[in-house]
Amino acid sequence: MGEIEKIKYSYQQIHELVKQMAGKITKEYGKIDIIISIATGGWIPARILRTFLPHSDELPLPLYSIGIVNYDSRDKLLSEAIIVQELPAKLNLANRNVLLIDEVADSGGTFVKAVEYLQTKNPAKLYTAVLHLKEQSTFKPDIVGEFAKDNWIVYPWDVK
């Protein structure tokens, strides 16, 4: 392994990356019925995806999020990811094509927890997407925007 590099992304770079991902998702998986982001990092990529994924002429794709914590307030990795915000109880995912998105798969723990949770909702298909995949991630999403090695990613929405 090399030295960890800090890589900063602009909104424009993220927008273009998500646009490319939307093309791959549409080509490989066809129609998506619902987008679910892993809060909080997946919110912005999910919203951008909604712009580029095909939808009906009448309504945009529905967006939902689930809150999962994988690190404590001091950025220490927890022994297991914790769901802190579930989907609305009335949301029916049965027989729907669901796309789960997050900004980065670092350890993979949040994706594992989210997929386990969503599978209990019986979607027809569950696809996963991530902007950046780290090499140490135990979870390998279906769609990857870029491979991040073990670099530290700085997203424009995280800059203080």
pTM: 0.94
* Residue 77 pLDDT: 83
* 59-86 confidence digits (pLDDT tens): 889 999 999 998 888 988 888 999 999 9
**Single-letter amino acid code for the residue at 130:** V
Name residues of the chain where pLDDT drops below 50: none
Q: How far is CA 130 from CA 27, 28, 29, 89, 91, in A?
A: 17, 15, 15, 26, 23
Closest to 95 measured CA to CA, from 64, 125, 60, 59: 125
Domain residue limits, the chain: 6-158
* Residue 57 pLDDT: 75
Residue written as tokens 């909080």? 40
Look at the domain 6-158 and name its fold: Rossmann fold (3.40.50)
* Residue 2 pLDDT: 62
Backbone angles phi, psi at 76, to 5 degrees: -95, 130
For residue 62, what is the DSSP state? P
